Amino acid sequence: MRSSCKSPSTDTRAAILEAASALHISGSGGNSPARLISQLCDERLTADELVAKIETHPILCARVLKVANSAYYGQRGSVANIKRALFLLGVNAVRGIAAAACIRQVMPLRSGTLSDMSALLTHSLATAVACDMLATIAMPSLAPDAFIAGLIHNLGTVVQASLEPTGTATLIAARAAYPSQNLRSLELQYCQPGHEACGAVLFDAWNLPQSLVNSAQHHHEPAHAPEPHRALAGLVWAGGHLALCCNYTYSLEPVAPPQDEAGLFGLGLLPRHLDVVTRELGERVELLSRSLLA
C-alpha cells in the first residue's frame, strides 16, 4: 500500500483480511456489496453504467429509491427510477446513497465486543453527512469523495474488534476511564493493529481508490497522509470531529469533545462553515437515518 506510514506486515495484513472474511466483508464475492462499493467509486464509471450496476441489485435499488424519495432530499415521491434519481440529485448523491445502503448491508448488526454497533453506524453516517456539507460549502474539489470517505472511515473498527476482541474490550474500558486521551496512543498500548490500519488494508483489498484508502488510514492524523490525499483525510477528520461534537458518539469515542477550532480553521474551515454544520447536522442525520437505516 502506498502510504507515508509503515505498512502492516504480510502476516498482519493476512490476519486483517481473515477477520474481514469471517465477517463476510472481505469483498471477495463477485456480486457482494463490497464489490459494488468498489464499482461505485470507479471514476471511469459512466452515468448509464452506474444506473445498470444499481438496478442489478433489487434490494439496493429499492433502498436507493426510498432514500431519494425521502424528506432528506425533498423529493417526496417524484423519483420513480435510478435514472430519474441521477437527473434530480446528481451522480455524487446517488453514489453516496448506494454506498450507504451497501455499508448498511455489510455492517454486522451486533458484535460481542462492540455492543453499540448502531451507534457506530450512526456516527459513520453523521460523519458522511458532515463531510458532504463541508465539501459543498468550503471544499468543492473534494465533493465527489466526501460522503463515501466519511461513511467508510470507521469500518476498520469492526474488523479490529473481530481480530482482537480481548484487546478491543480493554481499549473500550480504557476509553471509558480516560475519554480525553488520544485514541491512537491507547491503541498502541492495548490493541494492535489499529482500526485505521485495518480499514486501509480492507479498502485496499476492495480495490477502492487510493484517496479513500489513505483517508481511512490517516483520519486521526491527516498531516501524515500522502500529500495528494491529505486534504481528504483532513476533511474526514473534520467531519468525524464535528459528528462527535454534535453527540454522535460510540464506545471508542464515548464523549463529545470540545470543538477543535484551531484544527478546523487550519483546514480552511471558517466559523460560518462550522455554524452551518453544527446547526443542521442533527436534523439531516435524523432524516437520512429514517429512510436508510430503518
CATH number at 211 reads 1.10.3210.10
Q: Is the pLDDT of residue 29 over 90?
A: no
Residue 52's pLDDT band (cuts 50, 70, 90): very high
Q: Whole-angstrom Cα distance, residue 19 to residue 25?
A: 9
Tens of pLDDT, residue by residue over 101-158, are 888 877 777 777 888 999 999 999 999 999 999 999 999 999 999 999 999 999 999 9
> Is position 15 within any domain?
yes
With beta carbons less than 8 A apart as the criterion, state whether 251 and 270 touch: no
**How many domains does the structure of the chain reveal?**
1
The 10s digit of each residue's pLDDT in 188-228 is 999 999 999 999 999 999 999 999 999 999 999 999 999 99
For the entire predicted model, the pTM comes to 0.93
Residue 1 counted as domain residue = no
In the block, residue with C-alpha cell 485495518: 198
Q: Region 224-243: what's the mean pLDDT?
A: 97
- Which amino acid is it at 160? Q
**pLDDT score, position 28:** 63
- 257 in a domain, yes or no? yes
Domain containing 198: what range? 10-292
Which class for 91: exposed (0-12), middle (13-18), buried (19 or more C-beta within 10 A)?
middle
Q: Identify the band that residue 231 occupies on the pLDDT scale cut at 50, 70 and 90.
A: very high
Q: Which residue, 167, 172, 131, 135, is CA-closest to 152?
A: 131
Residue 3 has pLDDT above 50, yes or no: no
Q: What is the pLDDT of residues 62-103, one digit of tens each?
A: 989 999 998 898 877 789 999 999 998 999 999 999 999 888
Residue 3 lies in a domain: no
Q: Do the domain assignments include residue 42? A: yes
pLDDT at residue 1 tops 70: no
Residue 4 lies in a domain: no
Residue 111 falls within a domain, yes or no?
Answer: yes
**Secondary structure string (H, E, C) spanning 176-219:** HHCCCCCHHHHHHHHCCCCHHHHHHHHHHHCCCCHHHHHHHHCC
Per-residue model confidence (pLDDT) at position 30: 63
Mean pLDDT of the chain: 91
CB 269 within 8 A of CB 138: yes
Residue 213 falls inside a structural domain:
yes
